[in-house]
Structure 1
Amino acid sequence: MAVVRSKRRPASQAGWSGGERAGLVLTWDGVDMRRWMDLHSAVPMAPLEQAWMYGDAIAAGSPYRPTRGVVTRDGKPVAIVQALEWSFVRAARLAKVVRGPLFLKDVTEEECVAVHRLIADRWPMPRLNWLFFTPEMIDGDFSRSVMRSLNLKQTVTGYSTAWIDLTVGADRLRAGLNQKWRNQLLAAEGEKLRIRDAHSGQALNWLLARYDAERRRRRFRAASGAFAAALAICAPRPRDVLLLQAERGSEPLAGVLFLRHGFSATYQVAYTSEAGRAANANRLLLWEGMRRLAADGVRWLDLGGVDAAMEGVSRFKLGTGAAPVTLAGTWM
């Protein structure tokens, strides 16, 4: 079926049609933040990159602007997608879809292909559009088949992350820790470190300044502290930002920043000093974060990138018992 296109409408209006395929209709920019958050929260293991605050944080520091689409069948939501779009040089546009779309219910393979096709239809290459599509699909024959059906080619291999199910309870979470990880956590608990929590302010500034210095020193391929600060500012509620510091006396030894988005959360930024590493403060903070997030109703925690190039960081994350998942990569 031909794609219906129209001029962008103000966000206050009902949105504009992105077309119809296989009985599915895609509408762009037709929901407000509250509705988007409700839909995003309905998706198990929903990544931060598809949260409303992520799009706003990107817009705060770059020429990209978020555009958000909802796919429906008979008026009922089936999937959502947040894309980042940069319009330049007259009609030319560069767009990124990062870890989307997200499905709110089970769909057939035909429907899955149709949803991805509807998204790609918005940025046809012959019309000076460049789409970088990183779908939230497990890497494999099916995901590659879907992306190739859009006439896209893989440009970056699959990103790997690890999710923790927080609903199993503290006892099972602790039992799932790697034996060495559990022993180091026990040692950290014996250090009697004081844990402080915050949502913003001086504690956040302290963490991000040290994180950025460490990132530059070790040449981590990771988001900057400035972007983490933008995410914290754009978070809809103070409780969506959880910052924990481990202290001995008045001296912070380590800090960690978690961002909550619906019933999911992301382990966003962490820093540990030499003294903090000696006291295993990083393990204590991650464990305490898991417990506090679970108590606040968070069901899944995304630990972020697992990369062979960062063996120590990856080993630390996987020591929690989380299983790595490799996604389909970026296609253009």
Structure 2
Amino acid sequence: MTDLPLPLPQSPEYARACAVLGITCRVGEDMLPGAAALRWQLQTRRLPLVGTVSLLSRGPVAAQPADAESWLREWRMAEPLVLNADGLSGAALRRAGFWPLLTPATLALVPLGPETEMRAALRQKWRNRLARGARGNLALRRMPLQGAHWLLGAEAAQARARRYRNLPPAFLAAFAKANPGAALIWEARQGGTPVAAIAVLRHGRMASWTTGVATAQGRAANAMPLLLWEAMRWLAARGHDQLDLGILNDDDAPGVTRFKLGTGARPHRLGGTWLRCRALAPLARHLPKGLAT
């Protein structure tokens, strides 16, 4: 299964970080008819008034969507399952007895590879900002993520101010502790003063940009394009072939969306959030299509 690109919530690295935090992940690797392999990883929690609920985020992971659909139809665990779907159609989920909860989000995924190809994929304005950043007097450095780094506190404050949710600093610290060398920070300094930084988590063939903060001075110096470009080059050179930049949100942060797409990222639409439980499964199979797309 290691040859499949595993999204962060489906990776062994994520499970190890959860273990540090006292959260247990159940993992399965199944062989399907025809020797096709499939991997799933879920968390199980007990919620007030609801009972035990399992969460399967961006899985199961299979080479072909049809293999994942077949696995879902055979789901036999007793507790309700909340599924953040990836690569599964609404029709397939309805047939498997899932009920729609939330509409799909769209991610930005950057293909990583030869530097010439990555540079050619950059949008012109992004490339111009990168060139201006490279001509500036910014000093860059890469380092292992540590809980005491200023980026984590600055990111938490930024998330509160802008009212968005992100992986909490405690999870990033746990990921770094559980996976030495897999949690990294790229930092830019100007005149000895830190002006921008990003955090990236490595997980198999994929990596995820989870955190980024730039001061007004850093934004004026175009530090963020330079940091992200250096991270892309470094990751590609070490065999990663995809960088997940997270959710695109045109309504709340159009500037962030333009920045992410400027890297050459491809929009990747997820399948929405769904619930499967025994009581609702027969009804879900007969939902009007308009309620489950």
- Counterpart of 1:331? 274
**1:99 aligned to which of 58, 63, 71:** 58
CA-CA distance at 1:208 after TM superposition: 0.3
Offset of residue 330 of structure 1: 0.5
Report deviation, 1:260: 0.8
Taking the TM superposition and a 5 Å limit, the aligned residue runs for 1:62-141 are 64-73=23-32, 76=35, 78-87=37-46, 92-103=51-62, 105-106=63-64, 109=66, 111-118=67-74, 120-123=75-78, 129-137=79-87
SS in 1 for 2:87: coil
- Paired letter, 1:321: G
Structure 1 pair 150–199 and aligned structure 2 pair: CA distance change class (3 A) = same
Partner Cα distance (2:16, 2:237) in 1:
28
**Relative to structure 1, is the Cα distance of residues 319 and 69 closer, same or farther in structure 2, using a 3 angstrom cutoff?**
same
* One-letter amino acid matched to 2:101: T
Normalising by structure 1, we get a TM-score of: 0.77
Q: 1:193 to 1:147 in 2, by over 3 A?
A: same
Identify the residue that residue 220 of structure 2 maps to in structure 1.
278
Which residue type is aligned with residue 72 of structure 1?
Answer: M
Partner Cα distance (1:287, 1:170) in 2: 10
Query: Equivalents in 2 of 1:88, 1:328: separation in Å?
Result: 24
Give the alignment partner of residue 204 of structure 2, picking from 243, 259, 262: 262
Q: For residues 201 and 47 of structure 2, what CA distance do their matches in structure 1 show?
A: 32
Q: Deviations over 1:280-316 (max 9, x none)?
A: 1011000000001111111111111111222121111
The secondary structure found in structure 1 opposite 2:167 is: coil
Higher relative contact order (CA 8 A, sep 6+): 2
Instruction: Give the equivalent residue in structure 1 for 2:186.
Output: 244
What are the superposed Cα offsets for residues 89-109 of structure 1, whole Å, 9 maximum, x if unpaired? 899411100000111x347x3
Deviations 1:184-213 (A, max 9, x none): 1100001131111111337x6211011111
Query: Structure 1, residues 25-67: CA drift from partner, whole Å, max 9, x if none?
Result: xxxxxxxxxxxxxx2x3113x21110122233335446x4200
Correspondence for 1:189: 134
Tell me the CA shift for residue 149 of structure 1. 1.3
Change (3 A) 1:113 1:172: closer
* Percent of aligned positions that are identical: 33
Shift of 1:76: 4.8
Long gaps (5+) in structure 1: 1-38, 124-128
Q: 1:262, 1:324 → 2: CA distance?
A: 21
Find the aligned partners of 1:90 and 1:317 in 2 and give their Cα distance.
40
Q: Secondary structure at the match of 1:303?
A: strand
Is the aligned partner of 1:179 residue 2:179? no
SS at match of 2:253: helix
Q: Structure 1 pair 224/75, CA: closer, same or farther in 2 (3 Å)? A: same
Distance 1:262 1:284 in 2: 24
Structure 1 vs Structure 2 CA RMSD: 2.2
SS at match of 1:162: strand
CA 1:151/1:90 → structure 2, altered by over 3 Å: closer, same or farther? same
Matches within 5 A, 1:204-223: 205-223=149-167
What is the SS of the residue equivalent to 1:304?
strand
Structure 2 stretches lacking a partner, 5+ long: 276-293
- Deviation at residue 88 of structure 1 after TM alignment: 6.4
Structure 2 residue aligned with 1:157: 103
Cα distance change on mapping 1:201 and 1:222 into 2, 3 Å: closer
Distance, in Å, in 1 between the alignment partners of 2:81 and 2:42 is: 10
- Equivalenced residues, count: 274
Q: Distance in 1 between matches of 2:234 and 2:8?
A: 19
Amino acid at match of 1:122: M
The equivalent residue for 1:311 is 254
What TM-score, normalized by structure 2, do the two folds share?
0.86
- Which of 170, 173, 177 aligns to 1:229? It is 173
Letter in 1 for 2:255: G
Return the alpha-carbon distance in structure 2 between the equivalents of residues 165 and 201 of structure 1.
27
Report the alpha carbon displacement of residue 222 of structure 1 after superposing the two structures with TM: 2.1
Contact 2:17–2:178, Cα closer than 8 Å, also in 1: yes
